[in-house]
Amino acid sequence: MKSANKWYIAAALCFLLPFFSFGVTSIFDTDAEVSTLENRALKQRPEFSVETLFSGTYTREFEEYYSDTFPLRDFFMGVNQQLSKIYFFTPAG
Amino acid sequence: MVFSSLFFLYIFFPVAILLYFVSPTLKIKNFVLMLLSLVFYAWGEPIWVLLLIFSAVVDYTNGRIIGKYRGRWQAKAAFVASIAINLGLLATFKYSGFLVENINAVTGLAFPVPSFALPVGISFYTFQTMSYSIDVYRDRVKVQKSFGDFLLFVSLFPQLIAGPILRYAELEEQLHDRKTTPDGFFYGITRFLGGLSKKVLLANYAGAVVNTLFEQGGPIVDLTVPQAWLGILMYAFQIYFDFSGYSDMAIGLGRMFGFQYSENFDHPYVSRSVTEFWRRWHISLSSFFRDYVYIPLGGNRRLQVRNMFVVWALTGLWHGASWNFVLWGLYYFAILLIEKYLFKRVLEKIPRFFSWFYAFFAALIGWVFFYFTDLGRAGQMFMTLFGAGNGGLWNIETRVLFTNNIFLVLICAVACTPLVQNIARRFISDFKEKKIPAGVYGSVAIVANTVMLLLCTASLVGSTYNPFIYFRF
Surface of B (49-68) touching A: CB under 8 A: none
Question: Once rounded to an integer, what is the mean pLDDT over residues B236-244?
Answer: 96
- Which pLDDT belongs to residue B392? 87
How many angstroms separate the CA of residue A9 from the nearest CA in chain B? 6
Under 8 Å between Cβ of B153 and B132: yes
Under 8 Å between Cβ of B246 and B254: no
Residues of A in contact with B457 (CB under 8 A): 22, 76
- Which pLDDT belongs to residue A14? 75
What does the mean pLDDT of chain A come to? 80
A and B: number of Cβ contacts within 8 A: 120
Under 8 Å between Cβ of B411 and B198: no
With an 8 Å Cβ cutoff, the interface of chain A facing chain B consists of: 3-5, 7-12, 14-16, 18-20, 22-23, 26-27, 53-56, 59, 62-63, 66-67, 70, 73, 76-81, 83-84, 86-91
The conformation of residue B221, written as its DSSP 8-state character, comes to: G
d(CA B221, CA B228): 9
- Which pLDDT belongs to residue B464? 65
Express each pLDDT in B399-413 by its tens digit: 999 988 999 999 999
Lowest mean pLDDT among A1-10, B91-100, B434-443: A1-10
Subunit contact A8:B11, Cβ cutoff 8 A: no
Subunit contact A11:B445, Cβ cutoff 8 A: yes
d(CA B98, CA B118): 12
- Residue B69 burial (CB count, 10 A): 14
**Pairing relationship of beta strands A34-35 and A40-41 according to DSSP bridges:** antiparallel
pLDDT > 60? residue B359: yes
Under 8 Å between Cβ of B23 and B140: no
Question: Once rounded to an integer, what is the mean pLDDT over residues B130-142?
Answer: 93
Express each pLDDT in A17-39 by its tens digit: 888 888 888 888 777 777 777 77
Residue A41 β-bridge partners: A34
Chain Cα centroid distance, residue B30: 25
- Which pLDDT belongs to residue B439? 80
d(CA B431, CA B308): 46
d(CA B466, CA B203): 9
Nearest CA in chain B to A65: B7
Using CB atoms, which residue from A19, A56, A84 is nearest to B9? A19
- Which pLDDT belongs to residue B327? 96
ipTM: 0.87
- Which pLDDT belongs to residue A24? 84
pLDDT > 50? residue A86: yes
Assign B473 a pLDDT band (cuts: 50, 70, 90).
low
Subunit contact B458:A53, Cβ cutoff 8 A: no
So which residues of B are the catalytic ones? 319
Whether B398 and chain A come into contact, CB under 8 Å, resolves to: no
Whether B442 and chain A come into contact, CB under 8 Å, resolves to: yes
d(CA B30, CA B28): 5
Chain Cα centroid distance, residue B67: 32
Chain Cα centroid distance, residue B126: 15
Q: What are phi and psi of B176, to 5 degrees?
A: -120, 5
- Which pLDDT belongs to residue B23? 94
Question: Once rounded to an integer, what is the mean pLDDT over residues B428-449?
Answer: 85
- Which pLDDT belongs to residue A1? 47
Predicted TM-score of the model (pTM): 0.93
Express each pLDDT in B91-131 by its tens digit: 998 899 899 989 998 988 888 888 777 888 899 999 999 99
Question: Once rounded to an integer, what is the mean pLDDT over residues B169-198?
Answer: 91
d(CA B265, CA B280): 5
Local structure of A41: helix, strand or coil: strand
pLDDT > 70? residue A3: no
Angle, in degrees to the nearest 10, between helices B49-68 and B122-137: 10
Lowest mean pLDDT among B76-80, B181-185, B248-252: B181-185
Most confident of the following: A46-50, A88-92, B110-114, B296-300: B296-300
- Which pLDDT belongs to residue A92? 57
> Residue A55's closest CA among B365, B46, B125?
B46
Assign A91 a pLDDT band (cuts: 50, 70, 90).
low
How many angstroms separate the CA of residue B47 from the nearest CA in chain A? 6
Nearest CA in chain A to B407: A87
d(CA B290, CA B300): 11
pLDDT > 50? residue A93: no
Subunit contact A26:B408, Cβ cutoff 8 A: no
Residues of B in contact with A79 (CB under 8 A): 454-455, 458, 462
pLDDT higher for A31 or B317?
Answer: B317
| H/E run at residue A25 | helix A2-28
Assign B295 a pLDDT band (cuts: 50, 70, 90).
very high
